[in-house]
Amino acid sequence: MHKYGRGLFIIMIAIISLSACTQTNNNESKSTDDQADVESQETVETNASGVEEVLVTLMNADGKTVATATLTEKAEGGVGIILEGEDLPPGELAFHIHESGQCVPPDFETAGGHYNPTGSKHGFKHPEGPHAGDLKNITVNEDGTVYAEVEAPMVTLKRDGENTLFTKEGTSLIIHAGPDDYISQPSGDAGDRIACGVIGE
Ligand SMILES: [Cu+2]
**Of 34, 87, 114, 181, which residue is the catalytic one?**
114
Query: How confident is the model at residue 25, as a pLDDT?
Result: 41
> Does 96 qualify as catalytic in the annotation?
yes
Q: What is the CATH number of domain 53-198?
A: 2.60.40.200
Query: Which residues are bridge partners to 197 per DSSP?
Result: 173
Task: Quote the ligand 1 centre to 31 CA distance (angstroms).
Answer: 35
Tell me the whole-structure pTM to 2 decimals.
0.77
Residue 80 burial (CB < 10 Å; 0-12/13-18/19+)? middle
> Does 134 qualify as catalytic in the annotation?
yes
pLDDT digits (tens, 9 = 90+) for 99-152: 999 999 999 999 999 999 999 999 999 999 999 999 999 999 999 999 999 999
Q: Tell me the domain boundaries of the chain.
A: 1-50, 53-198
**Of 131, 143, 159, 189, which residue is the catalytic one?**
131
> Does 122 qualify as catalytic in the annotation?
yes
For residue 180, give Cα distances in angstroms to 76, 82, 115: 27, 18, 15
pLDDT digits (tens, 9 = 90+) for 24-75: 444 444 444 444 444 444 456 665 555 689 999 999 999 999 999 999 999 9
**Of 6, 37, 62, 96, which residue is the catalytic one?**
96
Q: Residue 169: CB partners within 8 Å, gap ≥ 6?
A: 99, 100, 101, 112
**Of 33, 37, 62, 122, which residue is the catalytic one?**
122
d(CA 79, CA 76): 9
Query: Which residues are bridge partners to 58 per DSSP?
Result: 67
Task: Quote the ligand 1 centre to 87 CA distance (angstroms).
Answer: 19
3 vs 66: which has the higher pLDDT: 66
d(CA 156, CA 170): 13
Task: Quote the ligand 1 centre to 135 CA distance (angstroms).
Answer: 9
Peptide bond into 106 cis (omega under 30): yes
**Of 6, 87, 176, 189, which residue is the catalytic one?**
176
Task: Quote the ligand 1 centre to 51 CA distance (angstroms).
Answer: 27
